[in-house]
Every structure is written in structure tokens, then in C-alpha cells.
Amino acid sequence: MQGEIRHQPIVEKKDKEGCIMSSEERGRSSYLDLLITTLMEHEKNLDALIEKIEKISENLRSIYEEASKTEKTVAVKASALKEKAKTTTNEPDTLVYLKIQIDRPIDEVIRIIEAIKE
């Protein structure tokens, strides 16, 4: 028995159709399985990120709408204040100082000024 060579049984792997796969094909198959698994995990992660981005987008939209409403309210209040300021400035609250040299009595000058006011 010295010259005998013992052979270990070769485990043959078969593909889906039942054909025997070579070691190169088995390696390629394992690589593709790993790639598919990895891509599926990435897809799950991307879906989760997209959901988070959609929530953020909805929150930003609602904040923008609230800010727009607030801005309109502020604009209305500002225009009301401006209108109120315009109505109050129509009243004569100004003081005018004139220095006039006239050779007339003060009573007569006062009557002239009152006539100009009217």
C-alpha cells in the first residue's frame, strides 16, 4: 500500500439549474451574493435617509408658511402705523419763529399774522 494515493472526496457545488460549478464560478457567485446583500443594506439606509429628509422638508415648509403669515401681519400693522402717523402729522404742531422789523404797533402785527393763518 505504499504506492497508493488516497483521494479526498471532492465536494461539488451546483448552481440553480443543477450544473456543477467550477471554483472560479463559485467565487464569482459568492462575490455577487455579497454585492447583492450590501446593495440591499444601502437601499434600506437610503430609504431611511429619504424619509428623514422628507420630514425635514415638511417642517421647513410649515415654518416658512408661518413666517409668511407673520410677515403679512407685521406688514399690515406697519402700514396701519404709517397711516396713523400720516393722520397725526396733518395737525399743525409746528412752531415758526420769524424775526420781522416793522415800524408798526404789536397789536397790528398780531392781527396781520392771524389773518395770514386763516
Residue 20 backbone phi and psi in degrees, to 5: -75, 135
* CB within 8 Å of 21: residues ≥ 6 apart: 12, 13, 14, 15, 29
pLDDT class for 3, splitting at 50, 70, 90?
A: low
At residue 18, the pLDDT reads 64
12-24 tens-digit pLDDT: 555 566 667 777 8
Cβ(15)–Cβ(25) below 8 Å: yes
50-90 tens-digit pLDDT: 999 999 999 999 999 888 888 888 878 778 777 776 665 55
Beta-ladder partners of 20: 14
Cα 60 to Cα 54: distance, rounded to the nearest angstrom: 10
Tell me the pTM: 0.43
109 compared with 17, residue with greater pLDDT: 109
